[in-house]
Chains A and B, each alone.
Chain A
Amino acid sequence: AQTVTQSQPEMSVQEAETVTLSCTYDTSESDYYLFWYKQPPSRQMILVIRQEAYKQQNATENRFSVNFQKAAKSFSLKISDSQLGDAAMYFCAYRSKETSGSRLTFGEGTQLTVNP
């Protein structure tokens, strides 16, 4: 079974600064998806960024980028120019490609605080 680990329960960053959230995972599969989701105080889950394992290029979405290290099974999220609206719980997640409609496996989450 796959596991996802987020070792930082809480992180804080100053507005306009950069912060990196860590995520490691364990799998025996060669192709899969990795995701970062944001859950603000409203508790609506929002997809931040997605990475397909077979793609070597790191995914980027505006101020959000990932550092995907497949051999090390590491998938960190970098938030540049942090904004107050970035404050939320962030979840790293894994999904297999091998089974259709397969579930997401979530990490424990990292609570990000953005200080003005």
Chain B
Amino acid sequence: GAVVSQHPSRVICKSGTSVKIECRSLDFQATTMFWYRQFPKKSLMLMATSNEGSKATYEQGVEKDKFLINHASLTLSTLTVTSAHPEDSSFYICSAYRVNRLNEQFFGPGTRLTVL
């Protein structure tokens, strides 16, 4: 099956700093990627839809200037948490959409962000 990677898997940062999380589709091109946030024992909450070569579409309530998304190539999308604060601590998951007969979404392994 298709593979999606995320880097880093874990990151700890100080309050006020920015953190970049990468999402890569390793063996297919993904024009669309999704970024989710997940709190413990809760469902995945869609933050934004990342489209290659265009601006991301953010869900209601998600701060665009806080969570910067860049989808510069067909295999890479990045999420930058700017001026991180402890309340941004969470598990962030990306998924990449593969256009074929099944139109499947493949998930990355997630990134645990801890802001001190």
Contact = CB atoms under 8 A, between A and B. Distances in A.
Interface of A is mostly: loop
| Interface size bracket, B side | 20 to 34
B78 interface: no
Contacts of A104: 34, 44, 46, 95, 105
B25 interface: no
Contacts of B93: 43, 45
B42 A108 contact: yes
Interface of B: 31-32, 34, 38, 41-44, 46, 49, 91, 93, 95, 97, 99, 102-105, 107, 109-110
21 contacts: A43-B93, A43-B110, A44-B107, A45-B44, A45-B93, A47-B104, A50-B102, A100-B99, A101-B31, A101-B32, A101-B49, A101-B103, A103-B46, A103-B49, A104-B44, A104-B95, A106-B44, A107-B43, A108-B43, A109-B41, A111-B41
What are the 3 tightest A-B residue pairs by CB atom distance, in nearest-first order?
A: A45-B107, A101-B32, A106-B43
